[in-house]
Amino acid sequence: MTENDDPTTDPIISVEKLVVAYERSEETVRAVDGIDLQIDPGTIVGLIGPNGAGKTTLLKTLLGLVSPTGGRVRVDGTDVAEHPHRAHATMAAVLEGARSTYWRLTVRENLEFFSRMNAAGRGDERERIRAAIDRFNLTDLSDEVVNDLSRGQKQRVSLAAALVQDPEILFLDEPTLGLDTEGSLELQSSLVDLAEQHGTTIVLSSHDLHAIESICDRGIVLDDGHVVADDTVENLVDVFRTEVYELVIEGALSPSARGEIERAYEIVSCTELRDRTALEVAVPDGNRIHDLTGAMVAHGSQIESVRTLEGSLEAVLDSLSFERSEPLERRPLRGAP
């Protein structure tokens, strides 16, 4: 991974008070709701969140494919809505469910076409195509028509077509979709190399939290169109490593015990089994777990087991994505005001 530590470096992506709203069933849905964020050059940023959180809408708005209802997006100093063609000269993207290549052309024909877009006029086209074919193991498929390939093979071609453009910024929506384990690991390695060796800025959205945890410098957690957490991936995992506990009690959780817990903590989930109940509770300070268990016992709960959930982005997402009427307070990058 790479970390841009120069405070004088201007952000390559700047989002100010961004809103994207649309009408559905006679109501206004705010898919993106007042987002502010900045992304530094050469970093890898992961967008995390449940389905419907606004990840894909945010990506498409950064790309200029969706017009904002309010706010502004600048890419390398260019307002994307006002000058989309100028902004697109620095970008490449692979979007889930979209045709990122021409299916009637062969793999090589696609790479030849896309290599002449943002990198037009450069003399290293043949080398870029060869490198992309090698990187994604497409040698045996180079003369095949894309429409005849499997889903995973098409995904590899889409990724190769994006990278062969030599973009400054690469946007990826579910990039590991359709890839086997080996292909996913190879892609992760390629993305890290692009950021570290070529200074490429990468913004990716994925449900593959292991991949995000492995390669991203920073995680931005979205829920209901809001940014609810924004920190380095390491800090996000560390914050929740000792905060979320699973408690198993005999029988059902009494209303009085539940009320006591909810006054001081956040119940992430409560699952009633045949003769016991499993609770996941977010505790602001790990040392307060003794206060929590003491309160439960005082209200008649017989605790069978207590364990800390594994420190991972799954735990972060689970703890942030429970039902609520108001968005969580945004967690800023550590050290930020």
Residue owning tokens 């956040």: 266
What is the pLDDT at residue 4?
47
Residue 325 lies in a domain: no
Give me the CATH number covering residue 33: 3.40.50.300
Within this chain, do residues 149 and 270 fall inside the same structural domain, yes or no?
Answer: no
Q: Which two tokens stand for residue 175?
A: 């990039």
Q: How far apart are CA 223 and CA 322, in angstroms?
A: 10
Q: DSSP string covering 160-177, please?
A: HHHHTT--SEEEEESTTT
Residue 2 lies in a domain: no
Q: What is the pLDDT of residues 47-81, one digit of tens each?
A: 988 888 899 999 999 999 999 999 999 999 999 99
Within this chain, do residues 202 and 258 fall inside the same structural domain, yes or no?
Answer: no
Within this chain, do residues 77 and 168 fall inside the same structural domain, yes or no?
Answer: yes
What is the pLDDT at residue 335?
35
User: Which domain covers residue 161, as residue numbers?
Assistant: 13-232
What is the pLDDT at residue 52?
85
Within this chain, do residues 62 and 120 fall inside the same structural domain, yes or no?
Answer: yes
Work out the angle at residue 334's Cα, subtended by the Cα atoms of residues 332 and 337, and round it to the nearest 5 degrees: 65
What is the pLDDT at residue 79?
96
Residues of the chain with pLDDT under 50: 1-5, 7, 242, 322-337
What is the pLDDT at residue 54?
92
